[in-house]
Amino acid sequence: MQIQFYKKSGEKDKTVAYPKALEVSVAPEQILAYLRYLKAAKRQVSANTKDRGEVSGGGKKPWRQKGTGRARAGSNRSPIWRGGGITFGPNTERNFRLRMNKKERRAALLAIISDWIAKKAAIGVTDANFSNPKTKQAVKMIENLPIKGKVAIFMPKDDQPFYKSFRNIPYCSLIKPSAPDATQLVTADSLLFTTESLKEFIAHFSKEK
């Protein structure tokens, strides 16, 4: 597979071969499982209830056992009492994480990117260098390129002018080549590489098995 690279002006520059070793194809179910894995990992356990051992209240028996005509009661912290503990309620000890091994996660991620490249929806820019942060120049560059909609941009490592130029553009999401976010990839309409970020991505995933 080939990735077409352009200049900032929108002119075609060159094509870069995508490594065969990184061309991966998996079943859609595996990609869905990976997305569910990522979503579960980000889920925060915020809902919490108190059981009968945590609510306030006395250990004193509300009334004597016999002779009152009322039902037996041992504590006002009982779950059947108003203000008592909650039975089987949510708590912070819950674990929503799913299990998925490293090889499966890697294959699903590379399959998503391979699919974008196969559809010709992934392109590159050879001269995407910014000496100073300029959002207007970044917007103009995107407008010159043959891409539309949401753009997932693989940004060069530690390139602050590049990062600051694109971070405030609402339809652009910035991705680290060594740690791509699959959620951003599947919700984008196209991918954009720079010469440096493509090299970083290939070097990282070629080394990682």
How far is it between the farthest Cα atoms of the chain?
Answer: 95
**Predicted local confidence at residue 130, as pLDDT:** 84
Q: What distance in Å separates the CA atoms of residue 199 and residue 136, rounded to the nearest whole number?
A: 26
Total-model pTM: 0.78
Helix (H) or strand (E) holding 138: helix 135-144
Quick one: tokens of 118?
């196969």
**Predicted local confidence at residue 100, as pLDDT:** 92
Q: Do the strands 2-6 and 12-17 form a parallel or antiparallel pair, or are they unpaired? A: antiparallel
Of 196, 175, 178, 205, the closest CA to residue 114 belongs to 205
Contacts of 69 (CB under 8 A, 6+ apart): none
**Predicted local confidence at residue 209, as pLDDT:** 53
Q: pLDDT, tens digit, for every residue of 113-136?
A: 999 999 888 999 998 888 888 899
Q: What distance in Å separates the CA atoms of residue 97 and residue 27, rounded to the nearest whole number?
A: 22
Residue ranges, comma separated, of all CATH 3.40.1370.10 domains in the chain are 2-43+97-207
Q: What distance in Å separates the CA atoms of residue 154 and residue 196, rounded to the nearest whole number?
A: 9
**Predicted local confidence at residue 93, as pLDDT:** 85
Quick one: tokens of 24?
């991966």
Q: What distance in Å separates the CA atoms of residue 197 and residue 209, rounded to the nearest whole number?
A: 19
Q: pLDDT, tens digit, for every residue of 150-209?
A: 999 999 888 899 899 999 899 999 999 988 989 999 999 999 999 999 999 999 988 765
The three-state (H, E, C) secondary structure of 12-23, written as one string: EEEEEECCHHHC
Q: Does domain 2-43+97-207 have CATH number 3.40.1370.10?
A: yes
Instruction: Round the CA-based radius of gyration of the chain to a whole number and report it.
Output: 27
Q: pLDDT, tens digit, for every residue of 43-74?
A: 888 899 999 989 998 778 999 999 999 999 99
Is 113 within 8 Å of 191 (Cβ atoms)? Answer: yes
Q: What distance in Å separates the CA atoms of residue 165 and residue 205, rounded to the nearest whole number?
A: 27
Quick one: tokens of 160?
């602050």
* C-alpha distance across the termini of the chain, in Å: 21
pLDDT of 37 above 90: yes
**Predicted local confidence at residue 129, as pLDDT:** 81
pLDDT of 112 above 90: yes
**Predicted local confidence at residue 43, as pLDDT:** 87
Is 153 within 8 Å of 145 (Cβ atoms)? Answer: no
